[in-house]
Amino acid sequence: MEQHLRMKGVEVFLPLYTVTKRWKNRTTQRIELPLFTGYVFARIALTERVRVLEVPTVVSIVGSGRELLPLPDSEIETLRTGLQLRQVDPYPYLKVGNRARIRSGPLAGLEGVVIRKDGHLRVVVSVDCIMRSFAVHVYADELEPCI
Q: What is the pLDDT of residues 30-83, one digit of tens each?
A: 999 999 998 999 998 888 888 888 888 888 889 877 788 888 899 999 999 999
Number of domains in the chain: 1
Segment among 44-48, 81-85, 101-105, 136-140 with least mean pLDDT:
44-48
Other Cβ atoms less than 10 A from the Cβ of 45: the count is 8
SS3 string, 12-57, reads EECCEEEEEEECCCCCEEEEEEECCCCCCEEECCHHHHHHHHCCCC
Amino acid type, 145: P
Q: Which domain holds residue 140?
A: 2-145
Q: What is the pTM of this model?
A: 0.70
Distance CA 61, CA 69 (A): 8
* pLDDT at site 25: 92
- Listing from the earlier edge strand, what are the strands of the sheet with 120-127? 88-91, 132-137, 120-127, 111-117, 99-102, 143-145
Task: Name 44's Cβ contacts closer than 8 Å, sequence gap at least 6.
Answer: 10, 51, 52, 61, 68
